[in-house]
Copies of this chain bind each other. A is one copy, B any other.
Amino acid sequence: MSSETSDHDAVLAANRDFYQAFARRDHEAMAALWSEDEPVTCIHPGWQGLFGRDAVMSSWRAIMNGDSPAIECSEPRVTVLGDVAIVVCIESAAGSPAQLAATNVFQRDDVGWKLVHHHAGLIARATSPEPPVKRTLN
């Protein structure tokens, strides 16, 4: 297996672990997935940006302790840029037709790939064959 394939698969596995931790509301696994070395950032759907590990982990605790639906990830696409990787994927909420588009950014550390940034936002009119051309939802 080439190093490129190996990196790609390792990032996919880290991305899968992230959605599994979320679905299982596993706070310990979620905390372990996020980098402790870098200033992590996170943009939840509809939220402003959160900066730093304390704010980001606190948001995940609130979300996983709340009544948020289980989220499934599909169609992950990985771009490896050296020691950083970007995953773009679809998030689907159980029992809802709503879908979100997500960006997950990972950084390689000594152990594996750790999340440094997450951004998710609702996809409008997911059934439409053409995306809206206007830049804002209004």
Contacts and interface: CB of A to CB of B under 8 A. Distances in A.
A51 B77 contact: yes
B38 A81 contact: yes
Taken together, the copies of this chain in the complex come to: 2
| Residue of A82, A90, A126, A136 with highest tally of chain B CB at under 10 A | A136
Interface stretch (A10-18, A26-34, A97-105): A97-105
Interface of A: 38-39, 41, 43-49, 51, 59, 62-63, 66-69, 71, 77, 79, 81-84, 86, 88-90, 93, 96, 98, 100-101, 103, 105, 107, 116-117, 119-126, 131-138
B93 A105 contact: no
B79 A116 contact: yes
